[in-house]
Amino acid sequence: MKPLVLIVDDEPGILTQLSHILGDEGFRTLITGKGEEALELYRRWHPAAVFLDIWLPDRDGLETLRAIRDLDPHAAVIMISGHGTAPTAVKAIKMGAYDYLEKPLAYNRVLEALTGALAASGTGEGAGQGALDLGKGPEHVREFLQPPGLPLLRESETPQRTVKSSSVIYGLGLHSGSHTGMVIQPLPVNSGVHFLTVPKGTQIPAHLDSVADTEYATTLSREGESIRTVEHLLAALHAYGITNLLVKVHGEIPVLDGSALEFCERLEEVGIEMQGLPRKELVIDRRYEAGSGDRRLVIEPAETFSVSYLLRYPPPVGEQFYEFTMRGFEAFKTEIAPARTFGFMRDLPMMAELGLGSGGRLDNCILVGDDNVINTKLRFPDEFVRHKILDIIGDLYLLGYPIRGRVTARFTGHRDNIALQRAILGASA
């Protein structure tokens, strides 16, 4: 029998709609239109999850959320509202709500939110149920990469990981220039990393098959919906070993300061959950190569994951070389994560024609002129090449697993990073 769910809303139509949706999926429900009665029902019946309206006639929904969390610090609460605001959503998540849904409620989103909330709270009945289709997560990659005689995936001693709680991150999109936000949420073991577009709810696996564009950034797409600039977030997830995560986002991942540092800090702030089951690692079995001429990207067998990169641009950048070995997330956070994205003044007209770069500001990228860096002080003398390594670490996580291999790069970009992965998968088909 599926668990009991409490629905709290002052609109009779919402109570009826949610009850029918959950009833069709086999869940039992309790309903009320008042916050005080909701607390009494929670004390008496201990429901596995709560759908809670922001606006209630007798008390504020956020106050009710706080009271429920005081009763049960592990309570799985999903806030709902027909006229909420972004600050309200952020506050609700910070207070411990698992998710925040806008009315009118979509069947798919209701079930996906409930599934995630139950799984995150440790209610076994929630795992594997609902609307999220994880069929193109790691299992899809595992089948593709392990034909007979080519054991690229190996079980490691490191456990699978997700985040301990949900969190909201807001900022600008680097290329759209629009205000954008994202929510990160835990997922159960063997789920993989998935994006969910807002508001349509299209699921896009963080996988090579989803790549749609590599012009100045990596864009994932599915069913007409796209998520831009995923590489900085994926680099942080790769470095921290986050194997299972849901990322809800509208259009583009926030650029923040142009690096991956704030993503690292947020992961540490919400905490990382060790999930018990061992993770798989993608172990490079032989040399794979992409590019031509001086532009070359190679990955070869090695005991650890490392990236060395040779970069060469006209002055003031010049030639830079850096080699990074993934010795743990602290090394990534110190050496690579702070390196910001960069662009050249001479490329701005072309980027404008492509509809890119609209969110580039003085505080979220390095802007390079003819003779000098125009807008900021460099964090490292070789910050440019370190950021190229950051992009490689992020893009390569689209293979679906942490990697064990040595990467050597010369003058390459996002297009080459994707081409190298396709060479690996193509050789494994």
User: Which of 390, 386, 395, 399 has the alpha carbon at shortest distance from 416?
Assistant: 395
Amino acid at position 3, single letter:
P
12-21, 203-212, 261-270: which has the minimum mean pLDDT?
12-21
The pLDDT of residue 227 is above 50:
yes
**Farthest CA pair distance, the chain:** 71
Q: How do the domains of the chain map onto residue ranges?
A: 4-126, 155-281, 283-428
Query: Which residue would you say has higher pLDDT here, 298 or 358?
Result: 298
How many Cα atoms occupy the beta-carbon half-sphere of 20 within 13 Å?
9
Strand segments, DSSP code E, in 223-332 are 225-227, 245-249, 272-283, 288-292, 295-300, 305-313, 318-325
38-52, 55-69, 130-144: which has the minimum mean pLDDT?
130-144
Q: How confident is the model at residue 179 (pLDDT cuts 50, 70, 90)?
A: low
Q: What percent of the chain has pLDDT over 90?
A: 53
Q: How confident is the model at residue 45 (pLDDT cuts 50, 70, 90)?
A: very high
User: Which of 52, 72, 50 has the alpha carbon at shortest distance from 61?
Assistant: 52
Which pLDDT value is given to residue 172? 67
**Which residue among the candidates 232, 238, 387, 414 is catalytic per the annotation?**
414
The pLDDT of residue 197 is above 50:
yes
The string of DSSP codes covering 13-81 is HHHHHHHHHHHHTT-EEEEES-HHHHHHHHHHH--SEEEEES--SSS-HHHHHHHHHHH-TT--EEEEE
CA distance 31 to 37: 10
Question: Is 46 one of the catalytic residues?
Answer: no
Which pLDDT value is given to residue 5? 95
**pLDDT (tens digit, 9 = 90+) per residue, 70-115?**
999 989 999 998 765 667 777 888 888 988 888 888 787 888 889 8
- Topology adopted by domain 283-428: lpxc deacetylase, domain 1 (3.30.1700)
State how far Cα 413 lies from the chain centre. Answer: 21
Place of tokens 């003031």: 316
- Topology adopted by domain 4-126: Rossmann fold (3.40.50)
Which pLDDT value is given to residue 102? 83
Q: CB of 157 within 8 A of CB of 278?
A: yes
Query: Which residue would you say has higher pLDDT here, 178 or 42?
Result: 42
State how far Cα 261 lies from the chain centre. Answer: 14
Burial class (CB in 10 A: 0-12, 13-18, 19+), 67: middle
CATH tag, 155-281: 3.30.230.20
For residues 21-45, average pLDDT: 91
What residues contact residue 44 under an 8 Å CB cut-off, 6+ apart? none
